[in-house]
């Protein structure tokens, strides 16, 4: 350690393993996939993988901010299911008066975003103003939203009116120049998220809050507001993910969005964001999301490994990612 001379850190050098690790893992997965199945790199398969990553991806970008600011949100999966159910109910109820058309789709979208924001603000309020542990608050709201969607659906499935679904369907399956809408929205969210995280005052406030709450407070950072905004933004992003999700199958049930929260958190951690907060990387989260969905995709495309082991492979990658982070901390 003492041999590390200052000019080594100043001059150009290889990026550390915590930066390279996720990228290498992604490249290795792509190479394995391409070798095992010739259809892996086909446009259709790439579109499928990117579009299905979009839900978790959009949510994971919001989760990156929450975790960077030292928080956690376990409720996003149930929240997505609840918002999807609510959106379907509102659109079905408005159908007789509004008819099928752009306005009713916009009504559904506004419902999703407003509901997401309110749900996020509620989590944020309980955590910041009442000072309850984020883990406990969101564990509670996770159960509440999951029960609410089961109750709304009467234990069954809420389905969007068939005509409406046909009209709304292109939002998941079509797009511009062959790039489908979920991929476009995911890309826009990532670009905005990356700019805010690495270039804006708010991004620095998140890192400061997560790094050391008291120091941030004395440095004139409004810790409470920073955290509250991160939860509200995550809620809005859950709403946006739901807008992309509902047109796919046109239904929501108690099994919608199960374990999305853990996939989103895993993606954030694989991408190099520190679980304890203080450092976040939006582009890393994107790589984390792609790694997780590529594992599932490759296992489905080959008969190489039993799909029972999907979770085990994801688990190994998550643990490896954290080991790489620890090495970086030890080195610094």
Partner 1 sequence: MKYSQTFIAAALATAVSSAAFADGHAVKVVGVSIPAATHGWAGGMNFHAKETVERLEEVYPGLDFVLATASDPGKQVNDIEDMVATRNIDALVVLPFESDPLTPPVQAVADSGAWVTVVDRGLSVAGIEDLYVAGDNKGFGTVSGEYMVSKMPDGGDIVVFRGIPTTIDNERVDSFTAAIEGSGINVLAMEHGNWNRDDSFTVMQDFLSKYPSIDAVWASDDDMAIGVLAAIEAAGRDEIQFVLGGAGMKEMIKRTADGDAMIPANVTYPPSMIATAIELTAVGLTSNAPVSGSFVIGSVLVTQENAMDFYYPDSPF
Query: Which strand (E) or helix (H) includes residue 160?
Result: none
Q: Could you say whether residue 291 binds partner 1 (CB under 8 A)?
A: no
Query: From the list 18, 64, 78, 256, which residue makes contact with partner 1 (rule: CB under 8 A)?
Result: 256
Map the footprint of partner 1 across residues 99-128, applying CB under 8 A: none
* 66 contacts: CB under 8 Å, gap ≥ 6: 72, 73, 230, 231, 234
Q: Could you say whether residue 150 binds partner 1 (CB under 8 A)?
A: yes
Nearest to 163 by CA among 101, 242, 111: 101
Which position has the token pair 């394995």? 32
Distance (Å, whole) CA 47 – CA 324 = 30
Shorter beta-carbon distance to partner 1: residue 106 or 309: 309
Report the nearest approach of partner 1 to the CB of residue 155 (Å): 2
Report the nearest approach of partner 1 to the CB of residue 140 (Å): 15
Report the nearest approach of partner 1 to the CB of residue 39 (Å): 5
Distance (Å, whole) CA 201 – CA 73 = 23
Distance (Å, whole) CA 185 – CA 230 = 19
Tokens at 325, concatenated: 């982070």
Shorter beta-carbon distance to partner 1: residue 40 or 65: 40
Q: Could you say whether residue 251 binds partner 1 (CB under 8 A)?
A: yes
Query: From the list 89, 296, 320, 328, which residue makes contact with partner 1 (rule: CB under 8 A)?
Result: 296
Query: From the list 297, 314, 318, 324, which residue makes contact with partner 1 (rule: CB under 8 A)?
Result: 297
Q: Could you say whether residue 52 binds partner 1 (CB under 8 A)?
A: yes
Tokens at 205, concatenated: 């406030």
Query: With CB under 8 A, what is the number of residues at the site for partner 1?
Result: 31
Shorter beta-carbon distance to partner 1: residue 256 or 314: 256
The one segment of 20-28, 226-234, 297-305, 318-326 that binds partner 1 by CB under 8 A = 297-305
Q: Could you say whether residue 159 binds partner 1 (CB under 8 A)?
A: yes
Q: Could you say whether residue 178 binds partner 1 (CB under 8 A)?
A: no
Query: From the list 153, 221, 287, 292, which residue makes contact with partner 1 (rule: CB under 8 A)?
Result: 153
Helices (H), the chain: 6-10, 17-36, 43-68, 76-98, 102-128, 134-152, 162-168, 170-173, 181-199, 201-211, 213-218, 223-249, 260-270, 282-301, 310-331
* 286 contacts: CB under 8 Å, gap ≥ 6: 57, 60, 61, 190, 271
Instruction: Give residues in contact with partner 1 (CB under 8 A).
Output: 37, 39-40, 42, 44-45, 48, 52, 150, 153-157, 159, 173, 248-249, 251, 253-256, 258, 296-297, 300-301, 303, 307-308
């Amino acid at each position: 350690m003492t041999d590390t001379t200052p000019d080594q850190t100043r001059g150009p050098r290889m990026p550390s393993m915590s930066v390279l690790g996720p990228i290498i893992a992604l490249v290795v997965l792509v190479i394995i996939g391409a070798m095992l199945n010739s259809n892996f790199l086909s446009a259709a398969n790439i579109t499928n993988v990117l579009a299905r990553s979009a839900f978790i991806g959009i949510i994971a970008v919001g989760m990156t901010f929450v975790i960077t600011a030292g928080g956690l949100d376990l409720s996003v999966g149930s929240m997505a299911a609840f918002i999807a159910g609510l959106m379907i109910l509102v659109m079905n109820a408005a159908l007789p008066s509004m008819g099928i058309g752009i306005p009713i789709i916009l009504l559904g979208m506004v419902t999703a975003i407003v509901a997401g924001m309110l749900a996020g603000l509620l989590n944020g309020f309980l955590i910041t103003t009442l000072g309850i542990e984020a883990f406990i608050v969101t564990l509670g709201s996770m159960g509440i939203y999951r029960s609410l969607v089961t109750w709304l659906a009467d234990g069954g499935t809420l389905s969007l009116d068939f005509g409406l679904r046909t009209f709304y369907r292109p939002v998941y399956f079509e797009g511009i120049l062959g790039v489908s809408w979920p991929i476009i929205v995911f890309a826009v969210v990532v670009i905005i998220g990356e700019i805010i995280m690495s270039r804006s005052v708010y991004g620095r406030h998140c890192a400061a809050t997560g790094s050391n709450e008291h120091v941030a407070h004395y440095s004139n950072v409004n810790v409470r507001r920073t955290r509250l905004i991160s939860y509200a933004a995550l809620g809005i992003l859950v709403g946006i993910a739901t807008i992309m999700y509902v047109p796919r199958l046109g239904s929501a049930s108690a099994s919608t969005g199960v374990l999305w929260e853990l996939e989103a958190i895993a993606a954030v951690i694989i991408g190099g964001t520190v679980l304890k907060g203080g450092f976040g990387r939006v582009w890393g989260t994107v790589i984390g999301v792609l790694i997780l969905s590529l594992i599932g995709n490759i296992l489905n495309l080959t008969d190489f490994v039993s799909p029972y082991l999907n979770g085990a492979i994801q688990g190994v990658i998550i643990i490896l990612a954290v080991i790489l982070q620890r090495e970086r901390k030890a080195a610094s």
